[in-house]
Structure 1
Amino acid sequence: MSTPAHDDPLSDAPLSAGPLSRERSHLAASRSALRAMRENVESLDIADVTANWVNAAVLEKQIEDRIKALADLSETPLFFGRLDYLHAPGAEQAEGGEGELFYVGRRHVHDTDGDPMVVDWRAPVSQPFYRASKKDPQDISLRRRFGYTGGDLTAYEDEHLSDPAEAAVTSKLLQQEIERPRVGPMRDIVATIQPEQDEIVRAGLSGSVCVQGGPGTGKTAVGLHRVAYLLYAHRERLARTGTLVIGPNRSFLHYIEQVLPALGELAVRQATVDDLVAHVEVRGADEAATAVVKGDARMAEVLRRALYSHVAMPTEGIVVVRGSRRWRVPVYELEEIVRELLARDIRYGAAREALPQRIAHAVLVQMERAGEAPDDRVQNTVARNAAVKAAVKAVWPQVDPAKLVLRLLSDADFLAEHAEGVLDADEQKAVLWVRPARSVKSARWSPADTVLIDEATDLVERTHSLGHVVLDEAQDLSPMQYRAVGRRCTTGSATVLGDLAQGTTPWATRSWSEALSHLGKGEAVVEELTAGFRVPTDVIAYASRLLPHIAPGLTPVASIRENPGFFEIRAADAGTAGVLAACRELLEREGSVGLIAADARVPELAAALEAAGIGHVGPGEENTPAVRLTLVPASLAKGLEYDYVVLDEPRAVVDGEPDERTGLRRLYVALTRAVSGLVVTHATGLPPQLD
């Protein structure tokens, strides 16, 4: 690899007015072309194009989204790489010609003749930028990476893949980009995607993928870039079916919300599991033991039994009067219809809607035998007959899902009847409300209860399925929550992201095969990422001391960062002085600072920061560049990252959880949020597992 000219602090080489100047000219021309593309869309006149106001509104929205997608973000490089092909790319990459080169960027940019000036990173012709190597050059003679300061191109670096005499060397620009300070929300990684990550990103839409990745391996970024890739490769299909990114909490979603828009994708919905199952207002909370039982997959069978207990076999026939004629459907025939519907794999509500039509069909058969010629209109009229409607109401009554769950949790006899052989007596007692509610509105529903309502709702009426769902921090979901997510992609695929070592709920996932089974994606391929790009070497090595105690089967993350990171353990006197001193020290450095503490200590630390005049915000509130310190309760730290972290009282983090194993996992999460440095302060002793 050569070290070309630049004015970036990559080395001491002098600035060259040749290649670097030409690359800057291409950048300026590309920005001009992008601006022209945007102006062309802005100038569209649709006044005489659409026939009605509805179509006009839809078209206006599409144009508005297209204008947003063509925005030129001044601080974001328009392209970050260049590929020089030895030969013309394949037929499927018809843009290429003999010896042609391609600039790889976040979106496609073309000139007035339609020729590409920047190709989208997701295009097939861009793939060698991530996959090509000295061993497998993929017909690439040169791969060039660009360095930027803000939006200005300041450096480049060449790798001659077809030259056997040149040894493979780690890219300094790539290393700099990986280790660049983090300030504000999460950013995309299109310039630094590694081969093993790219394989996951470009996996097909038809299959589901599960990514097991330790802290800093980029699993969240991989999941988001996979969504962007799938939208590029299957845009029409996913535009019809929809895509969804599911995160653990609002703070996490706020942290990642700018990644997809930066890649030009504006239509991806983001939600938490609680958002998906928000059928009732949550006003209560469960003890851990209760939540574990309610989250157990066996509850699905209890709900199914309880729902179908409302179906009653008919005890008498039906007489349908039409004009002067009377048509009788005997009880045995009604029983056959009901049994046939029960045997079919259709929802309770769909079967209830089908029942009057089946009864009407039986009447029509009698009419035909009597010489009449009824049509579909007659069948629909019979289905709406008062006698038929009364029979349906008696045999297959409507059931409100929330009221069904309310009764299960309030009525011990009703629960015992339908949980027999599924839940034991202690488990039944655990889920029963101490103070039964009188109505759905007055009930103090817990988050686990809403998942039960969602399950019951799906038993009554099928949940709408999306084309693709990304589920992040999946290790913390209960089996019933997995089922709730799985219902949203029964006809689509899923990307499941998580780390078994970071499971901090009482029902945390024990194995991915079990979790994928509950999700309904047992065929998903499980990939493991073990190369750490975010957490410094010394920090991840220290945190990995906990792995034998929390996830003995997992491979420790191996940091590939050249910078070992800033890492200190400081014994402090009781109080907050040591923590405040560490915060002040780290705020003198460039980048963001996170102060992570046990939830119970957060109020005391917030008061101390305020008294000391140190400005701070909470997770999800990082909108003010002048305030670079975030005070993070340990329970909300998962998925977040900061340049520097001050971890207050590790033992308090462990003791704040219901059991030691969960506490050690929470501590593992807290220890691995730092990108550049970590300071651990403690007045009490450290947990022995860190010795």
Structure 2
Amino acid sequence: MPVSTPAVDPLARERSHLAASRSALRAMREDVESLDISRVTPNWVSAQVLARDVAERIRALADLSDTPLFFGRLDYLHAPGAEQAEGAAGERFYIGRRHVHDADGDPMVIDWRAPVSQPFYRASKKDPMDVGLRRRFGYTGGDLTAYEDEHLSDPAETARTSRLLQQEIERPRVGPMRDIVATIQPEQDEIVRGGLGGTVCVQGGPGTGKTAVGLHRVAYLLYAHRERLARTGTLVIGPNRSFLHYIEQVLPALGELAVQQATVDDLVAHVEVRGTDEAPAAVVKGDARMAEVVRRALYAHVATPVEPVVVVRGSRRWRVPAYELEEIVRGLLDRGIRYGAAREALPQRIAHAVLVRMEQSGEAPDDRVQDAVARNSAVKAAVRAVWPAVEPAKLVLRLLADADFLAEHAAGVLTEEEQKAVLWAKPARSVRTAKWSAADAVLIDEATDLIERTHSLGHVVLDEAQDLSPMQYRAVGRRCSTGSATVLGDLAQGTTPWATRGWGEALAHLGKEDAVVEELTAGFRVPTDVIGYASRLLPHIAPGLAPVASVRENPGFFEVRPVGGAAEVVEACAELLDREGSVGLIAADARVPELSRALAAAGTRYLAPGEETTAEVRLTLVPASLAKGLEYDHVVLDEPRAVVDGEPDERTGLRRLYVALTRAVSGLILTHTAPLPLQLG
């Protein structure tokens, strides 16, 4: 009589594979740690580079105990063929954050970026992509707790929404931003896996995942073009330090450690910024026309030669007349090369003219003679007179402090009123004592690039791009002039006086006119009632922009609550702290001190934006000016009218309010004493 074999619990089998995968990852890390590199490098410099690479590899192989090593499984139907997917008959692939292989080199977990993983995000009942089974896993911390199957090639099974996928999307958030590799949607995946050669601009409303898409696109490009990007570099640009701190763990969690992060202010930090501009001055300084003013002022230093150059070598005197020097200078100007490069070329051009005369007289000079002539004191003096060295900061200082100098080079470009707006009321005497503003630093960066070309990276991600000025776009564009970019933003969330009016104009300033513009309209993070209420502002702040449609099954909660003062606002925060997840108290900047005192009086601990929430302290007090890009499970929004009134004009104020309203992932309590803005109905 045959002995029946007891059925193996599928969940137990998957847990066993998880344990084996963790063990294999640990073995991969130990293999790297055991490498002896002491005798494989010819010198100490190579040894340092190799040691750094090994250390980074060890870090990339870290097993994050509270993060699932894999989140899905694909069972393919057929063996690979010309028309088949990259799978083998009956073979299955576990999809995770990084590749893991066993001692024989066979894969135990496939990197989510690999081609074989793509059907996990793209396959559907209409197009199964040769997948018979797609399995999703549920986790609590790092422990596998559930699974859910979709039989994509079974006509008897109807398409349905994944419960585990929905739970993962709606999971409460504590701490910094997480990756979304387990929940990437088909329209997001298409952007993520776009090629390196082209620039992509992603217009996305609140909660559509545009920031996550941009970060995962970097991770994908590093996977697909690692050697190239290792040479050229990658950079993520965010609006402020709080935002960068919020997102900084996403790429390391995916095993990518080499991506730099910065703000635009970091990129142009040629001088110490100690001053601020009034809005009219900042708007003019950020206008793309200032690039022409700076260019004119720089090249005005190039003088027309009026004296010949006479080079004495031994008993001979060699003369280059002024008209020939003028031709040399005009030729360099016509080539359009950088000011500094042309200045370096000028002595060699003059020396070449001298060598021509030497050859005509019967001499046979070589390159060493030309170099010696280029270093001749008479040639150096001519270069100083005709093409003097210029310091970028001193050039901008003179433009902003000398009305006549500005008027000369801004004629026909800026109006008299605009020139008055940018001139300093109290001109500084030196670069060191000047109270430079952030917009001034961008002008200095423009001048610096005119003199010497800015290094270009292979790929740049620019987030919250709608708030950049045209001159800031130019500064970013210089960092990817020979590379590509991913531009992320939402026109409805522009809160600067120079906020982007349209992506075509912005991309032109960036130097990426041919970029493809994609729009994300499915909202995964903001509850339906909250995004619906906030969308009442769209006709007033971004006419014609499609509202975000929330796809969350959990509607969350939303309440408009009249209050009598700050103490009742603190009580609303206490109510939300009884729930699971992070809490943000967002208020107009001017009201933050009062709310801070009220929280202290109530004994409620809180954090500032950028500080990481913990199980003990889950409340963050957020000035409305710093709320952009941040998300909290629950939000108390204090005094919407004060948020609007805190901005220079009503439209900017309403955009700031739109940002503040859409920071909640699960629920929002709107507290107010003053009447609500009429635009909210």
Q: Does 1:597 align with 2:587?
A: yes
Paired residues of 2:607 and 2:613 also in contact (CA < 8 A): no
Change (3 A) 1:683 1:556: same
Q: Quick one: distance in 2 between partners of 1:31 and 1:675?
A: 32
Matched, 1:655 2:660: no
CA separation of 1:184/1:169 partners in 2, compared to 1, >3 Å: closer, same or farther? Answer: same
Q: Which residue of 2 aligns with 1:498?
A: 489
Kept in 2: contact 1:89–1:125 (CA 8 A):
no
Q: How does 1:360-439 map to 2 (within 5 A)?
A: 360-439=351-430
Stretch moving more, 89-98 or 461-470: 89-98
Please point out which of 207, 219, 224 is paired with 1:216. 207
- Are 1:118 and 2:118 matched, yes or no? no
**2:451 aligned with 1:460:** yes
Q: Which residue of structure 2 aligns with residue 527 of structure 1?
A: 518
Q: Is the CA contact (8 Å cut-off) linking 1:248 and 1:272 kept in structure 2?
A: yes
How far 1:374 sits from its partner (Å)? 1.4
Moved more, 48-57 or 398-407: 48-57
Q: Paired residue for 2:168?
A: 177
Structure 2 equivalent of residue 6 of structure 1: none
Q: State the Cα deviation string for residues 595-623 of structure 1 (Å, max 9, x = none).
A: 00000000010111011100001001125
Kept after mapping to 2: 8 A contact 1:246/1:469: yes
Give the Cα separation in 2 of the matches to 1:224 and 1:371.
Answer: 66
The residue number in structure 1 matching 2:622 is 632
Where does residue 154 of structure 2 map in the other structure?
A: 163
Report the Cα offset of residue 624 of structure 1: 3.9
Cα distance in 2 for partners of 1:207, 1:410 equals: 41
Query: Alignment partner of 1:260: what SS?
Result: helix
Mapped to 2, the partners of 1:47 and 1:275 lie a distance apart of 38
Q: Distance in 2 between matches of 1:363 and 1:86?
A: 77
| 8 Å contact from structure 2 (residues 470, 506) kept in 1 | yes
Query: Cα–Cα, structure 1 residues 615 and 91, in superposed 2: closer, same or farther, change >3 Å?
Result: farther
The secondary structure found in structure 2 opposite 1:413 is helix
Counterpart of 1:579 in structure 2 is 569
Describe the SS at the equivalent of 1:589.
coil
Could you say what secondary structure the match of 1:470 adopts? strand
Contact map agreement 1:93 1:124 (CA 8 A) in 2: no
Code of the aligned partner of 1:229: Y
2:362 counterpart SS class: coil
What amino acid is the match of 2:312?
A: V
Q: Give, in whole Å, the separation in 2 of the partners of 1:683 and 1:272.
A: 36
1:186 to 163, 177, 183: 177
Q: How many residues align?
A: 675
In structure 1, the partner of 2:558 is 567
Structure 1 residue 99 displacement after superposition = 2.1
1:228 to 206, 219, 242: 219
CA contact (8 A) 1:360 1:380 kept: yes
* 1:259 Cα deviation from its structure 2 partner: 0.1
1:680 aligns with 2:670: yes
Q: Which amino acid aligns with 1:632?
A: V
Partner of 1:100: 91
Matched, 1:49 2:40: yes
Distance 1:92 1:248, change over 3 A: farther
SS across alignment from 1:521: coil
Q: Are residues 1:326 and 2:317 paired?
A: yes
The answer to whether structure 1 residue 336 and structure 2 residue 319 are counterparts is no
| CA deviation string 1:357-405 (max 9, x = no partner) | 0001111111111222211111111100000000000000000000000
Deviations 1:427-448 (A, max 9, x none): 0000000000000010010000
State the Cα distance separating 1:92 from its structure 2 match: 12
Give the TM-score normalised by the residue count of structure 1: 0.97
Distance (Å, rounded) in 1 between the aligned partners of 2:431 and 2:482: 32
Gaps of 5+ in 2: 1-6
The separation in 1 between residues aligned to 2:652 and 2:617, in whole angstroms, is: 32
Letter in 2 for 1:354: A
Which amino acid letter does the alignment assign opposite residue 123 of structure 2?
A: A
The equivalent residue for 1:149 is: 140
Matches within 5 A, 1:293-312: 293-312=284-303
Counterpart CA distance in 2 for 1:89 and 1:140 is 12
Task: Kindly state the Cα deviation for residue 564 of structure 1 after the two structures are TM-superposed.
Answer: 0.6
Greater displacement, 366-375 / 604-613: 366-375
Report the residue type matching 2:348 in the other structure: Q
1:158 partner SS: strand
Partner of 1:665: 655
Alpha-carbon distance change, 17 to 568 in structure 1, aligned in 2, over 3 angstroms? farther
1:272 to 254, 263, 286: 263
**C-alpha distance in structure 1 between counterparts of 2:336 and 2:193, whole Å:** 35
Letter in 2 for 1:384: R
CA contact (8 A) 1:580 1:609 kept: yes
Per-residue Cα deviation, 1:424-474 (whole angstroms, up to 9, x for no partner): 000000000000000001001000000000000000000000000000000
Residue of structure 1 equivalent to 2:501: 510
Distance 1:41 1:625 in 2: 35
Q: How has the CA–CA distance of structure 1 residues 126 and 142 changed in structure 2, closer, same or farther, with 3 Å as cutoff?
A: same
The DSSP-based 3-state class of the residue aligned with 1:409 is helix
The amino acid across from 2:361 in the alignment is A
Match of 2:578 among 576, 588, 592: 588
2:85/2:130 contact within 8 Å kept: no
Residues in 1 aligned to 2:503 and 2:80: alpha-carbon distance in whole angstroms: 39
Deviation of the 1:171 alpha carbon: 0.3
Q: Give the secondary structure class of the aligned counterpart of 1:677.
A: strand
Residue 94 (structure 1) shift: 10
Q: Distance in 2 between matches of 1:426 and 1:272?
A: 31
For residues 335-354 of structure 1, the aligned pairs below 5 Å read 335-354=326-345
Describe the SS at the equivalent of 1:555: coil
Cα distance between partner residues in 1 of 2:272 and 2:601: 37
Letter in 2 for 1:488: R
Unpaired runs of 5+ residues, structure 1, are 1-15
Decide whether aligned partners of structure 1 residues 89 and 263 sit closer, same or farther in structure 2, where only a CA change above 3 A counts: farther
Among 610, 615, 626, the alignment partner of 1:620 is 610
How far apart are the structure 2 equivalents of 1:510 and 1:92? 45
| Residues 516-569 of structure 1 deviation map (CA, whole Å, 9 limit, x = unaligned) | 000000000000000000000110000000000000110000000001111111
> Larger deviation: 559-568 or 95-104?
95-104
2:572 maps to a residue whose letter is: A
Aligned-pair Cα RMSD in Å: 1.1
Which residue does 1:482 correspond to in 2? Answer: 473
Moved more, 431-440 or 50-59: 50-59
1:287 to 268, 278, 289: 278
SS at match of 2:651: helix
- Structure 2 residue aligned with 1:5: none
- Asked if 2 retains the 8 angstrom alpha-carbon contact of 1:93 and 1:125, the reply is no
Whole-angstrom CA distance in 2 between matches of 1:492 and 1:661: 35
Residue 79 of structure 1: aligned partner: 70
Paired letter, 2:167: Q
Q: How far apart, in 1, do the equivalents of 2:382 and 2:346 lie?
A: 10
Whether the 8 Å contact between 2:613 and 2:619 is mirrored in structure 1 is no
Query: Any idea what SS the aligned residue of 2:485 has?
Result: strand
Partners of 1:424 and 1:291 in 2: how far apart? 15
Q: For residues 235 and 324 of structure 1, what CA distance do their matches in structure 2 show?
A: 60
- SS where residue 665 of structure 2 aligns? strand
Distance 1:355 1:243 in 2: 35
